[in-house]
């Protein structure tokens, strides 16, 4: 079945450091891939998405490229801020289904001033 694996956290960085959170997936067909973010006390929010191979999703300085050859969708940001501290979830939506999302276990990011 479809699944998503994320690097374990927590990830602790200093402000302005470079961020990578690894995500790999297993899926049949051509899934769509997503990164969701959960800030403390808030609901999950869509951060970015990519719907086909080689697409790059980007938002708020974050980027992720859909790599079918390595079944990966790693999240990157060139310079993190304290306000980026949150839990990040990689997710996929399989092709041809009801639209349910399969999530990874989440990676906690803590950015220190």
Partner 1 sequence: GAGVSQSPRYKVAKRGQDVALRCDPISGHVSLFWYQQALGQGPEFLTYFQNEAQLDKSGLPSDRFFAERPEGSVSTLKIQRTQQEDSAVYLCASSKTETVTNEKLFFGSGTQLSVL
Q: Which residues bind partner 1 (CB under 8 A)?
A: 4, 32, 36, 41-46, 49, 51, 89, 91, 93, 95, 98-106
In this structure, are residues 75 and 23 in contact, taking their beta carbons and an 8 Å threshold? Answer: yes
Strand ranges (E), the chain: 3-6, 11-14, 19-21, 23-26, 32-38, 45-50, 56-59, 62-65, 75-77, 86-93, 101-103, 107-112
Rounded least distance, CB 77 to partner 1, Å = 20
Nearer to partner 1 among residue 17 and residue 44 (C-beta): 44
Nearer to partner 1 among residue 6 and residue 19 (C-beta): 6
In angstroms, rounded to a whole number, what is the distance separating the alpha carbons of residues 110 and 83? 9
Rounded least distance, CB 72 to partner 1, Å = 17
Nearer to partner 1 among residue 47 and residue 80 (C-beta): 47
Instruction: State both tokens at 40.
Output: 């403390």
Rounded least distance, CB 4 to partner 1, Å = 8
Rounded least distance, CB 15 to partner 1, Å = 26
């Amino acid at each position: 079945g479809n699944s998503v694996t994320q690097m374990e956290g927590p990830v602790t960085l200093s402000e302005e450091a470079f961020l990578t959170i690894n995500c790999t997936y297993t899926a049949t067909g051509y899934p769509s891939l997503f990164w969701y973010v959960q800030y403390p006390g808030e609901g999950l929010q869509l951060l970015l998405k990519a719907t086909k191979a080689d697409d790059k999703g980007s938002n708020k300085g974050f980027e992720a490229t859909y790599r079918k050859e390595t079944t990966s969708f790693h999240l990157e940001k060139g310079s993190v801020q304290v306000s980026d501290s949150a839990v990040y979830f990689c997710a996929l939506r399989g092709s041809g289904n009801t639209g349910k999302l399969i999530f990874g276990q989440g990676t906690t990011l803590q950015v220190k001033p």
